[in-house]
Chain A
Amino acid sequence: MERIPILRIGDYLLATIQVDMHDQLALQLQEDLTSAIERHTSKGVLIDISALEMVDSFIGRMISDISNMGRILDARTVLVGMQPAVAITLVELGLSLQGVATALNVDRGMAMLRAAPTDE
């Protein structure tokens, strides 16, 4: 079955969405990512959606949900590389993803994670 690969980079996880998301894939990612955070006790998660060109309300909500789940599992989640069209669509759909950190690209997102103060 098709899956979105989740890469581990030190304390952080990187999920890159390279294909068009469909509902099942999004649910699978949610499952995989949360268990990966738990397994690796990751401190941060980067979700790269730079290749995602189309979103509907469901995928939009999934993205928001996954980000929030990451946060609850004590991993700072940063959504990186959103395309203009996707951003406009999400805004028009009324999904402003309050509380979700965003960055322009993976590089900046990683810098953001590293700069984030840790609780310990």
Chain B
Amino acid sequence: MASSTIMASALRKHQKKILGEWVQTLHDDASDSKKARISPQELNAQAEEFLQLLTAVVSSGNPEDSHSAQFKALQDFLEGLSRSRVQQGFSSAETATFIFSFKKPLFAALRTEAGSNADELAQEIWTATKLLDDLGLTTVNTYQRAREEVINRQQQEMLELSTPVVKLWEGILGLPMIGTLDSARTQIVMESLLHKIVETGSEIAIIDITGVPTVDTLVAQHLLKTVTAIRLMGADCIISGVRPQIAQTIVHLGVDLQGVTTKANLADALALALKRTGATLTR
């Protein structure tokens, strides 16, 4: 395959020059904040490794074959690179620029190598552009995937963190809710609370909604479901921490909270719960 041999030989012959120019561009383009995140040595090492892997791909004879072992190695390298860029806090554009900035020195080398043969040069530049664009897209894709993974993990952790069921007293459970309630969260909250009730044989559960920023009809619906489920199991439920704004919203929305005991704060709720379990408080 004539076309890729020119690129292969250009990469081999002018390796030093291409690398030098490329690294120079990378350094020049880098903003101060970017420099702080990645050291010049690390960037050099990454550039060198990329160049080696690319040379292997081009020398393999068929640079457009995306299933070859060489191509796979190059992709793996880029995926690793994108992931580390995500962790270092680079933007997706900065990550992709790493690949795209390679075009300039490569094209210069190709021009030198092809000489006056314009047809071949055009063909060669097309092949190189296509290859590099593909690689650039790979980095952006991986970058996005890695970011999504981070977001998913954080959501999962938030879910786990946000549903602690605590024992306040013998026979009294407390559930401080923090953050917006949606269906998925309410489901988890409900399940963990109900299981805890069975486990501890508690008669009263206090759901504290001080940390819930807004209550809409859906959230109210979820709360009512939880209260009903608790009642079905034979325990009682008190909702505490109803802020003035939330009380107003609930009434304006026309949500019927009748049959549900509500208290303004956790202290009142606990006092009521203690009274119901037959405990007496003395100062």
Contact = CB atoms under 8 A, between A and B. Distances in A.
Interface residues of B, number: 18
Interface string A78-120: 0111111011101110001100001111001100000000000
A83 B229 contact: no
Interface in A44-97: 79-84, 86-88, 90-92, 96-97
Contact of A102 (B195, B198, B202, B231): B231
B196 to A, nearest CB: 9
Contacts, number: 55
Contacts of B230: 87
Contacts of B229: 84, 87-88, 90-91
Given A84-B233, A104-B203, A91 B225 contact: yes
B232 interface: yes
A82 B203 CA distance: 13
Interface residues of A, number: 20
Given A83-B198, A84-B191, A104 B225 contact: no
Given A84-B191, A108-B203, A96 B228 contact: yes
A111 B195 CA distance: 23
A102 B227 CA distance: 13
Contacts of A80: 234
B232 A97 contact: yes
Given A83-B198, A84-B194, A84-B195, A102 B203 contact: no
Interface string A19-48: 000000000000000000000000000000
Contacts of B191: 84, 88
Interface of A: 79-84, 86-88, 90-92, 96-97, 102-105, 108-109
